[in-house]
Structure 1
């Protein structure tokens, strides 16, 4: 689609990222679909095909957000393909399930690994895309955080802390990039088909899903498409919103006490 706005989505081979790519394409945007390594390529190709079927022009781009050069290459590839970049949705994330009470099970290496993707990776992607986003008449960044970063809960302390840092980074970037670029975050609760589905076996995933359903006041968990719909609204329909961390957790935070 010539002259359509363009969104680059990190982590868009699966889960929330894939849903975001499809949502933006369905809404008339062109999309840069990214994937980490050959293991994700087939999934990314399927997402790209769905986006193309929706009428979007699509760039399929390898991306490792922990590698600054890879972030720069992804941003430049999007600009070369589309000559513009209007939104960046940071969905790439990582975690491992480590009980919070088992302090000995969580070492510095896991903290650094988690922060490298969930915090530093976001910073590197925003930095790589900032120039193009400034040139857009309505540049926007949407960071996919987690309610764990608000409540200090979640798959591990390292994960919760990284998402808390991402929330703070969102506020800092919103100040730094204003007024040309808006920066916001979404803090979902448990998302069926999200990151836990890729790090847990089926039995443990089902157990966590049941527990999260019972813990939320709405007695449900979210789907990736719900997060994607909110991401699109923030990027395309909320010109007065910046520096917000929006909780999308089915009321899980209401039972946190």
Structure 2
């Protein structure tokens, strides 16, 4: 198959939330989009995202990957290479958490830390490592000097130690540090940045809390934010788009998008 004339974006965790919005944002801009699905439990949602991207005129594929499994990551990028022979952006959206009070020390153990780190940190690294050869190759496609891009979805929790659990906060802090290391290691061909959202409506918490608890968190975070709002997935997707396509001088940055929460201590 011939190389795609359109740039290609690979989005992990794109069956819902930020990942779904990001896949659609790139599709609407004329990119080909690889949509990362977890397993059969999320397949219907991933296929709906694919349909929306196709309606926007994009070439698409859906790949299954548990990013905590290195073989899955490598297989996913092999699929992208076989289909389009290029990758111009990787947006790492896959993530996991459980809601455990930070002072509930007896409720969180090494198994939970390892489970969260396996996806949020190790999985992000493994997916990026698998994508690097194709990202580097794609950076040389144009006669004009350019770089490809990795955008990691981190969290405000990684900046101020809040969030759904200690394990989650620690994993996102590690993502921020990994972003710096990768940006240094992959320059000048690949830029690496992170976005650290605060509360995002239709984000990860929607899938781990019951509706009443979720509504309570949403109301509390809205009230606590100086801007008196929470973010929507499309806002984060727009920023990922900007970092990948409109910011050739930006690398190694963790950009907080938290409606001012850091102004009052989170």
Aligned residues: 257
Give 3-state SS (helix, strand or coil) of 1:222's partner: coil
Give 3-state SS (helix, strand or coil) of 1:154's partner: coil
Cα distance in 2 between the residues matched to 1:2 and 1:89? 19
* Structure 2 residue 174 is the aligned partner of structure 1 residue 172: no
Q: Deviations over 1:127-183 (max 9, x none)?
A: 000001011222100000000000000000000000000000000000010111000
Give 3-state SS (helix, strand or coil) of 1:65's partner: coil
Match of 1:143 in 2: 152
Match of 1:225 in 2: 234
In structure 1, list runs of 5 or more residues that go unmatched: none
Q: Using the TM superposition, give the Cα deviation of residue 69 of structure 1 relative to its aligned residue in structure 2, in angstroms.
A: 0.3
Q: Using the TM superposition, give the Cα deviation of residue 88 of structure 1 relative to its aligned residue in structure 2, in angstroms.
A: 0.2
Match of 1:33 in 2: 35
Match of 1:107 in 2: 109
Give 3-state SS (helix, strand or coil) of 2:91's partner: strand
* Structure 2 residue 261 is the aligned partner of structure 1 residue 252: yes
Runs of 4 or more consecutive aligned structure 1 residues displaced over 2 Å after TM superposition: none
Match of 1:95 in 2: 97
* Structure 2 residue 83 is the aligned partner of structure 1 residue 74: no
Match of 1:238 in 2: 247
**Which of the residues 128, 131, 144 maps onto 2:130?**
128
Cα distance in 2 between the residues matched to 1:2 and 1:11? 23
- Aligned-residue Cα RMSD (Å) equals 1.0
Q: Using the TM superposition, give the Cα deviation of residue 102 of structure 1 relative to its aligned residue in structure 2, in angstroms.
A: 1.2
Q: Deviations over 1:65-90 (max 9, x none)?
A: 01100000001101111111000000
Match of 1:181 in 2: 190
Cα distance in 1 between the residues matched to 2:136 and 2:61? 21
Q: Using the TM superposition, give the Cα deviation of residue 2 of structure 1 relative to its aligned residue in structure 2, in angstroms.
A: 4.6
Match of 1:194 in 2: 203
Normalised by the length of structure 1, the TM-score is 0.99
Q: Does structure 1 retain, via aligned residues, the 8 Å contact 2:4–2:86?
A: no
In structure 2, list runs of 5 or more residues that go unmatched: 140-146
Q: Deviations over 1:33-81 (max 9, x none)?
A: 0111101100000000000110100011111101100000001101111
